[in-house]
Structures are given as structure tokens and as C-alpha cells.
Amino acid sequence: MKSTLALPIVLATLGLAAPGAHEKRAIGQVTLFKNVNYGGQSTTLRIETTVNNGCTNLPSSFNNQVLSIRLSPNDGTFFCRLADGPNCDPNTYTTWNFNHDVPDLNAPDYGIGNRASSIFCDVNV
């Protein structure tokens, strides 16, 4: 009897110690637009939350030019924050976390206008 009980306990213990078992990982897409209401030139970034701590610098052709943004997935599980400095520097101006599309980054809730240089994204657990 003891040996049949010991095996499940050992297997359960090994499963708990598996590396990365509890790591949050998500891949989302962010589409950046140069005009409000998702207009003008756009580019889509693929963001993996475990790479560079979920931070991505905007392409030079979109740096300080983004006025609206769409997230995918757009179900509330994936959220982002824009920064007006490179590398998602928390010492620069940043927006609130948002988990929905933003048609106008000039709106008072965001106030970053077209000053975004980097974007941080993560998932809700």
C-alpha cells in the first residue's frame, strides 16, 4: 500500500517544481494608427509578454506619431500601457493600463496624444 501512495505523491511534487509552470505568457497584437478613429497609415506589432518584459519600442516610422490603437485579443485579458520614452521607462509619462481599443489618444483619459515611443503589454491572471 505504501508504494502505491508514494508514487502519486512524488509525481505531484515533480509537477509543482516544473520550470515555468506558473509563468504568464501571452502573445497579442497591437495595431497602431497615425490618425484618430483608426485612420491613416497603420502597422501591427506582435507582442509576447515574456520577451523584454512585455515592452516594445515603436518602429521609427511610428515613433511620436500614433493617435489610435487596437488590441487583439480585445476581450479584457490583454492590456497595454503607452510611454512617451523608449524602453517603457516608468520615469517618463505613461498612460493608464487599457484593455480595449482607443480611438483617440488625445482624449483626457489618455492624454499622451502622438507622443508614444514604447508600449508595454501583459495579461490579466
Q: Look at residue 18 in the predicted model and tell me its pLDDT.
A: 39
The parts of the chain modelled with pLDDT lower than 70 are: 1-24, 125
Report how far residue 118's alpha carbon sits from residue 98's, in angstroms, rounded to the nearest whole number: 15
Q: Look at residue 24 in the predicted model and tell me its pLDDT.
A: 63
Residue 69 is assigned to a structural domain of this protein: yes
Residue 79 is assigned to a structural domain of this protein: yes
Overall number of domains in the chain? 1
Q: Look at residue 119 in the predicted model and tell me its pLDDT.
A: 94
Residue 60 is assigned to a structural domain of this protein: yes
Residue 94 is assigned to a structural domain of this protein: yes
Please say whether the dihedral angle defined by the alpha carbons of residues 35, 36, 42 and 47, taken in this order, is positive or negative.
positive
Residue 76 is assigned to a structural domain of this protein: yes
Range of the domain at 56: 21-123
Residue 6 is assigned to a structural domain of this protein: no
Residue 1 is assigned to a structural domain of this protein: no
Q: What is the CATH number of the domain that holds 117?
A: 2.60.20.10
pTM comes to: 0.76
